[in-house]
Structure 1
Amino acid sequence: MKASAVAYKPVGLALGALGGALAGVAFKQLWKGLGHEDDAPNATDEDRSWREILIAAVLQGAVFAAVKASIDRGGAVAVRRLTGTWPD
């Protein structure tokens, strides 16, 4: 394993935690902006329809995936700029 990859691991973990927090905030704002309540429905929420639960799940997954990909890519680009090598 390359030294840059080893050095990137703790940075990647920290960026992942930050990304998760940012994605949570982004999804909450998106859900609220779509005219829904502050909190998205849980899968076991008896008072919510299948449609609403599945739409919330799909949107949440898409937001988290997009934020994760953005953070991972940005971190890798930063490592390359600093070290000259791409982390694995």
Structure 2
Amino acid sequence: MNKTPLSKASNIAIGGDAPSAYLRRIEQRQGISPDALDEILRTHLIDPVHLRNDDFDAFFEARIAALAGVVSAAMGKAIVDEHGNG
């Protein structure tokens, strides 16, 4: 559920570091404010709070829920999660 295409430059900027580190680096290199970067991340259905806190479990849970919501809306049907909840 975590598939957002990255440019080569973005992938290099990430460089295997934790999000808390690479988000700051992107802001500095691009001259963008944390709020502006957070808004960009939200357009990809990414909750920036989880990234900035390096909270991978919360990130994946929120990402799954957000993407499942998009799929559900497109299909006009509820999505059944791993626990059988729909």
TM-score bin (small chain): 0.3 to 0.5
| Larger gyration radius, structure 1 or structure 2 | 1
Q: TM-score, normalised by structure 2?
A: 0.34
Name the structure with the higher helix share.
Answer: 1
Q: TM-score, normalised by structure 1?
A: 0.34
